Structure formats: C-alpha cells, structure tokens
Structure 1
Amino acid sequence: MKLDWRDLITWDWPLAGLLTIALLLDGAAASEVGHYDGRWELPGFLAVCALALLASRWPVVAGVGVVVVLLAGSVVLRLAGVTVPSAAGGLGAAEVAAVLAVIVAVVRRLSRSTAAGLVVLLLLSCLVVGVLRPEHPAAPQDLGWSGILPVVAVLAGWYLRTRDARHAREMRAVTVAAQLRERVALARELHDVVAHHIGGMVVQAQAAQAVAVPDPGAPARVLPVIERAGEGALSAMQRMVAMLQDVGGEPASPTTDLLADLRAATVTPAGATEVRLAVELAEPVPAAVATTVLRLVQESVTNARRYAVGAREITATVRSADGTVRVQVRDDGRHTDRPSRSGGGGYGLVGMRERVHLLGGRFEAGRVPGAGWQVLADVPLRAE
C-alpha cells in the first residue's frame, strides 16, 4: 500500500500534535536531570511516535514495531546504565501516548482475536520495560494510571470501530439505492426503445395486410423490415435482464438525435467552464446505447463544473469504432477527494458505472497525471 502523505497530514494532525506535546513534556522533564543525555532516549521516542502515526493504516506493523522498539531500547538503556525521565511505568510521555494511540488503532481496525492478541502483547511489553529500565520503581500513582489508560484506549478504539461499521452500513445502503435508481431508469429507457421497435413492426405488418390484395409482393418486401425491427427489439430486451420490476419514477425520453443532444448537453452557460465537444460516429448508435452515452456526458460535465477547481477547459469526446462507443470526458482542474462529505457523495459515479456495466461495457474514473479528472467508458453498440 502506498502511503499518501497529504492524507496523513490532513487526517492525523491531531495525533501528531498530541505526540509533539508529549515529546516536549519529555524534553522538559529531561532538562531537570543534570546528567541526562538525550541521544540515548530520543531515537526510540521518535520511532514509536512515527509508528503511532502509521497505525491507522498498518496496525499490525505498528503494534509489533512498537513492541520491538520498546524492548530493544530498554535493553540498550539497561546495558548502558542510562536513566531516562519516566511518565508512567518507566515509559516517557511520548511512549505512553504512542502506545495508547496504537491500541486505539489496533482495536478499531483489526479483528477481535488479532486485536486482543496485539493489545496483550503491547501491555506485556510495557510491563517488561518497567523491569528492564534502571531505577524506575513503580509508584502507586503509576500503577493506577497504568491500569486506567489502556482501558480508556480500548474503549475509544471500540467506539470508533462501531461508528465505522455503522457508517459502512449506511454507505452500502445509499450505494445500493443509487444502483437501483439507475437500473430502474435504464430499464424504462430500454422499455421505450423496445416499444419503438415493436410499434414499427406493428405498423409494417398492418401496411402489408392492407396492400396484400392489390400487391401480392408487398409482404415479401415488408417481412425483412419487420425482421430487422424484431432483432432490434430482442437485442434491447436482452439488456433488461434482472430489471423487470417496476419501481415508480418518471420515464425518460429515448434519444433520437445523439449529436444534437450532446451539443445541447455541453452548451456553456455564462460564467461556466467551457466544454469542447468532439463527436466521431462511424456507425449508427442504437437508441439504448445513445441514451447511456448522453447520460455519461451530462453527468461527467456536471461533475467537472462542480468539482474541478480552477479548470480552464473540459473536453468531451465521443467516438465509435469496432462495435464500441468510447466516451471520454476530461478536465484540467484540481479536484477534492471523492466521494465528498457534503452533497453528491460520489454517487453519480456509481450510477454511471452501473449503466455501463449493465450494457456490458467498461468504466473508469479517476485523477489524471498532473491535474484534472477523467471519465472513460467503452460501451458496446450491440448486446453480446
């Protein structure tokens, strides 16, 4: 897993501030010790603080690492006969804060059995530290804090664990709802397409019956037309698998002129970011696919105008080749992390992905090198 330093600074700054304060307290305590040499203590303190900052991402590594650093550092101090200022049980204030932070992360992120094992290992290492480090007899107040603080850390981690689980359930429910809305909308659009094909078949059949007597060859000419319309209807119906349940909502109008609709969807209002549209359609696009293409461009342009800070231009490209329509919408702005914490929540991307996947296509969305955001979709022109 790659470490995102920007995310680390954004979300872990309270812990970093707490550890910094603890280090300052250790420095103040050390200044009162005349023969104290910080070169013995500082590397270990900095190491456990760094591990505490990484614990939210790698709790197992951080937990085991803190144990190793504490025990190895205590052995070195014991052999060198160096006494260090202690906040509790032979541990410095920075070490106490780091151990508690790691306990919170372990309980929050790991399974119950793994978390229990690591917490016990951390507490046992703290007890061993109190024995190994020279001239640190346990005072009554040290014993009290040594028992209370780990319990507080475990309870804090458990609270965050339950809160995360509740938030995950809510996110899953909202995502499923967004997927269902897109499925229903797509089902209705495809239904309209199928109705168009079947309506044409009925008209052709009626016309053939009307002229069959004066023109015996008319049915032979009309039947291939009816056959093609039936094949189109069957192709569209195959895309409606698992979407037969009718769930309220307004039916969407099928796209009849994709180029005109794309131009209308990318018109630049006053003060909005300009959109450059390029359309190259080498073959006809079925109405069901055209509707999805239009929705992809509309949603992507809307997202770019909403989220692309400082964007100078948005490019929207629609090309068809080798039985596939490729939709690419890209901007050159700076984007906040998605999903956002207010408004939208990134569920427009969920809907676009759902539409493309239901049609058997491929969908990608994300940052591009340098700056900007890109939506890329390949939609097959015909059902597999």
Structure 2
Amino acid sequence: MKLDWRGLITWEWPLAGLLMLALALDGAAASGLTHYDQRWELPSSLAVCGLALLASRWPAIAGVGVAVVLLVWSVVLRLASVAVLSVAGGLLGAEVAAVLAVIVAVVRRSSRSTATGIVGLLLLGCLAVRVLRPDHPDSPQDLGWNAILPVLAVLAGWYLRARDAEHSREMRAVVVAAQLRERVALARELHDVVAHHIGGMVVQAQAAQAVAVPDPGAPARVLPVIERAGTDALSAMQRMVVMLRDTGEGGGEPATLTTDLVADLHGLTADAGGGTPVRLTVELAEPVPAEVATTVLRLVQESVTNARRYATGAHEITTTVRAGGGTVRVQVRDDGRHTDQPKRSGGGGYGLVGMRERVQLLGGRFEAGRLPGEGWQVLADVPL
C-alpha cells in the first residue's frame, strides 16, 4: 500500500485548505478564553484531518481510523476532566469537517454494504464523543446540526458516486470506440499485405499454367487449384474490408505501408517542426515483416507526437528500435515533466489506447508510464 504523495498534493489540496481553515478557526475561538489549554485540541484534530486526506485512497481505513481516534481521545478527555470548545455534538470544528469529508469519500468510493457499515461506525463514534466528552460552558448549541450534517454528507457522496459512474460509462464507451478504430485500421493494413502476397501467388500460378507441358501430369492438376484458392482468398479479404468500412465506426485511414523502415523512421523523426528533437537508434538484426514494420512506424509516430505535446521542458526524445531474437522492441522516452494538459491543442487523447490495442492484436507486450524522477516511456515488444 504505497502512498502517492504527488497525487495527494495535486488532488487533495482543496480539502487540505478547508481543514487548515477549520483548525485555524478552532484556535481563534479558543484563544480568547482564559484558563484553557489549546494543546488538548491538537492530537485528535490533527489525526482525523490527516485521515480525511487519505480517505479518497483508502476510505474504509480512514473511516475506521477516524471513529477509533474520536473514541480514544474522548476517553482521554473524560479521564483528564478536560472540556474542549466544541462546535457540534462535542466535536471541534476541524473534527466536524474531517468526519463529513470521510463520510463523503466512503459513500462515493466504497461498496454500498461497506459504506453503510463505515458510516454507521462513524455515527457511533460521534455519539460516543457526545456522551463521553465533558461539556464546555462556552460551546454553542447544536441546533440540530448533529442530524443534518451527516445526512448532507451522505447525499453529497451519493451524488458524486452517480457522477463517477456516469463518467466511467462514458470513458468505457470512448475506449471501446478507440479500440475498434484501431482494429479497423490494422485490418485494412493486413489486407494490403495479404492481398499483395495472394496476388503474387495467383500470378505465379497463372504463369506456370501458361508454360506447362501439354501433358503436365500432377503439377497441372495442382496449379488450377492454387489459382482458384488464391482468387477465393483475395475475394474474401476484399469482402472483409468492405464490411469493416461499413460498420460506421470510422477508423480513419490506415497508415501507409512502409517499404524501407529505416528510411521512414529517420524521415519521421528528423524534422522537429519546432518541437523537441529526437535521437533515433535503429538496429535491425532480423528482417521486419511489412505488417510489423507498419506498426513500428505507427508506435514511433504516436509516441513522439505525445512526447512533444505533453512533455513540458523536455530537451530530447530518445527513440530506439531493435529487431532480434524473434522480436522487435520499440522504446521511446523523454526527460520532460508530463501533465494531463497538452502544450498545444489537437489530438483525441486516446493514442495510448490505440497503441496498446494494436500491439496486443499482434501478440505483443505494451507498457507506458512515468519514469522515476521525470520523464515518460513507451515500451513495446512485437513478435516478428
């Protein structure tokens, strides 16, 4: 269970600001009171605020932790006969904000049964606080907030849960559409490759028949069969492409088949176009088939484009293509800082989905992600 501090700072700063404001208001409210030690407020407030910040990652753990902290510290306050200046139900302002934030996170991210149990446990913890903590004479009246605030937090969690579900459905639909487009494009490219080979087979069979001896024997009986099979296969491939184009799902135009992979890679990466320069290394110990070469070209093109769009402050994009041992490896990495917002507009934002789908359709392995420190890497192994 590793904590992503970068993600925590990026996404939880509004909640952190709200909790810090609640802590400051607690301190300000107690500062004007005489014979009152504010240090009794800190342990519980800081603990529950810290757990509230972790609730979006681990809602169940945070919910149980907050309930335990409230119960234990209420027992401590009872034994020490210390009354803290509460805002609602014996809770400090920071504790109220933290409990509500945890309830929202639990309802939003946990299963319904888990959310019911954790919310019930939190309410029991709040009830224990009300019973165990000594009353402070300067605490305001609750005015029914004990019942209203948890209900509002549950409703907020339900709303965010429904919104997340809708967003997830939309994302799945977009990903499926991107995968289908990539399948259509790859099928068209494969058609061009297979059609070329089958067409050659048909031509050779026809030529063999034209120069055959009048009494060819067995070869003469085989050659018409080869011609017929090749013609039928070519027609079937053409029908398949027609059906794929009629799906109405788009798919765009397929990548141009490459006849010289090394030259095309150098041509693709040589012109920076005002973007980050590319250092290219190509080592082909084995020949790369046409359908694999087209995929390699597509991977390099999409990866370099993504790096130039998303890698802020990158000085160089390193691209390596190596073929050997029955596999061609494509590795594209940069040294920039990656964000979710591109440096310039354009692009559909689902290039990684398409690349992964293409590599997996060819029986390969695809990985993409941030490097330690700064930078991003795309790594693909495609069988030759």
| Cα distance in 2 between the residues matched to 1:128 and 1:322 | 67
Superposition deviation, residue 189 in structure 1: 0.3
Distance 2:163 2:346 in 1: 21
Question: C-alpha separation between the residues in 2 aligned to 1:168 and 1:245?
Answer: 27
Q: Name the structure 1 match of 2:107.
A: 107
Q: Give the C-alpha shift of residue 33 in structure 1.
A: 2.5
Please say if residues 339 and 346 of structure 1, whose CA atoms lie closer than 8 Å, have aligned partners that are also in contact. Answer: no
Pairing 1:364–2:367 present: yes
From 273, 276, 280, give the equivalent of 1:277.
280
Counterpart AA for 1:10? T
Q: Does 1:333 align with 2:336?
A: yes
Aligned residue for 1:375, secondary structure, equals strand
SS at match of 1:130: helix
% identical equivalent positions: 81
Matches within 5 A, 1:119-158: 119-135=119-135, 141-158=141-158
Name the counterpart of 2:350: 347
Counterpart in the other structure of 1:24: 24
From 280, 285, 290, the counterpart of 1:287: 290
Q: SS of 2:360's equivalent?
A: helix
Q: 1:138 to 1:115 in 2, by over 3 A?
A: farther
Q: Does 1:373 align with 2:376?
A: yes
Q: CA deviation at 1:375?
A: 1.0
Deviation at 1:214, TM superposition (A): 9.1
**Residue matched to 1:7:** 7
* Offset at residue 318 of structure 1 (A): 1.2
Answer yes or no: is the 8 Å Cα contact 2:337–2:374 preserved in 1: yes
Amino acid at match of 2:168: A
**Which 10-residue stretch deviates more, 360-369 or 163-172?**
360-369
State the AA in 2 paired with 1:360.
G
Q: Give deviations 1:97-120, integer Å, cap 9, x for gaps.
A: 111111111110111111111112
2:259 to 233, 249, 256: 256
Q: Distance in 1 between matches of 2:146 and 2:160?
A: 22
Matches within 5 A, 1:68-217: 68-135=68-135, 141-213=141-213
Provide structure 1 residue ranges, at least 5 long, that are not aligned to the other structure.
none
Pick closer, same or farther for the CA change 1:140–1:46 going to 2, 3 Å.
Answer: closer
Q: Which amino acid aligns with 2:109?
A: R
Cα distance in 2 for partners of 1:150, 1:343 equals 44
Q: Residue 30 of structure 1: CA displacement?
A: 1.4
Query: For the structure 1 residues 108 and 345, does the alpha-carbon distance in structure 2 shift closer, same or farther, using more than 3 Å as the test?
Result: farther
Tell me if structure 1 keeps the 8 A contact 2:85–2:139: no
Equivalences, count: 367
Q: 1:343 to 1:121 in 2, by over 3 A?
A: farther
Question: Contact 1:308–1:335 (CA<8 Å) still a contact in 2?
Answer: yes
Calculate the aligned-residue CA RMSD, in Å: 2.9
TM-superposed CA distance for 1:252, in Å, is 4.2
- How far residue 311 of structure 1 moved from its aligned partner, in angstroms, is 1.4
AA aligned opposite 2:159: Y
User: Residues of 1 paired with 2:341 and 2:182: CA distance?
Assistant: 19
Instruction: Tell me the CA shift for residue 369 of structure 1.
Output: 2.5
Q: Which aligned runs of 4 or more in structure 1 are off by greater than 6 angstroms? A: 137-140, 214-217
Given residue 201 of structure 1, which amino acid in structure 2 is its aligned partner? M
Report SS of the residue matched to 1:266: helix
Pairing 1:314–2:300 present? no
CA distance in 2, matches of 1:345, 1:24: 44
Do the aligned partners of 1:30 and 1:36 also contact (CA within 8 Å) in 2?
yes
What is the distance in 2 between the residues matched to 1:4 and 1:108? 20
Call closer, same or farther: CA 1:325–1:214 in 2, change over 3 Å: farther
1:265 to 265, 268, 291: 268
Conserved 8 A contact 1:311-1:333: yes
For residue 86 of structure 2, what is the amino acid of its counterpart? S
Instruction: Mark the CA change 1:110 to 1:209 in structure 2 (over 3 Å): closer, same or farther.
Output: same
Choose 245-254 or 314-323, whichever is displaced more: 245-254
Q: Which amino acid aligns with 1:357?
A: Q
CA contact (8 A) 1:83 1:133 kept: yes
**Which 10-residue stretch deviates more, 125-134 or 139-148?**
139-148
Residues 317 and 140 of structure 1, relative CA distance in 2, 3 Å threshold = closer
Summarize the Cα distance change of 1:116–1:339 in structure 2 as closer, same or farther, 3 Å threshold.
farther
Deviation at 1:38, TM superposition (A): 2.0
Amino acid at match of 1:378: D
Which shifted more, 310-319 or 77-86?
310-319
Contact (CA 8 Å) 2:310, 2:340: kept in 1 or not?
Answer: no
User: Is the CA contact 2:269–2:278 (under 8 Å) kept in the aligned structure 1?
Assistant: yes
CA distance, structure 1, for counterparts of residue 45 and residue 140 of structure 2? 25
What TM-score do you get using the length of structure 2 for normalisation? 0.88
Question: What is the CA–CA distance in structure 1 between the aligned matches of 2:44 and 2:244, rounded to whole Å?
Answer: 63
- Secondary structure at 2:328 match in 1: strand
Partner amino acid for 1:307? Y
State the distance in 1 between where 2:26 and 2:122 align: 21
Shift in Å, 1:194: 0.7
The answer for the alignment partner of 1:60 in structure 2 is 60
SS at match of 1:19: helix
Q: Distance in 2 between matches of 1:132 and 1:158?
A: 31
Task: Return closer, same or farther for 1:251/1:329 CA change in 2, 3 Å cut-off.
Answer: closer
Q: Which moved more, 1:135-144 or 1:10-19?
A: 135-144
Assess if the C-alpha contact under 8 Å between 1:338 and 1:346 holds in 2: no
Q: Secondary structure at the match of 2:312?
A: coil
Change (3 A) 1:149 1:134: same
> What's the secondary structure of 2:338's corresponding residue?
coil
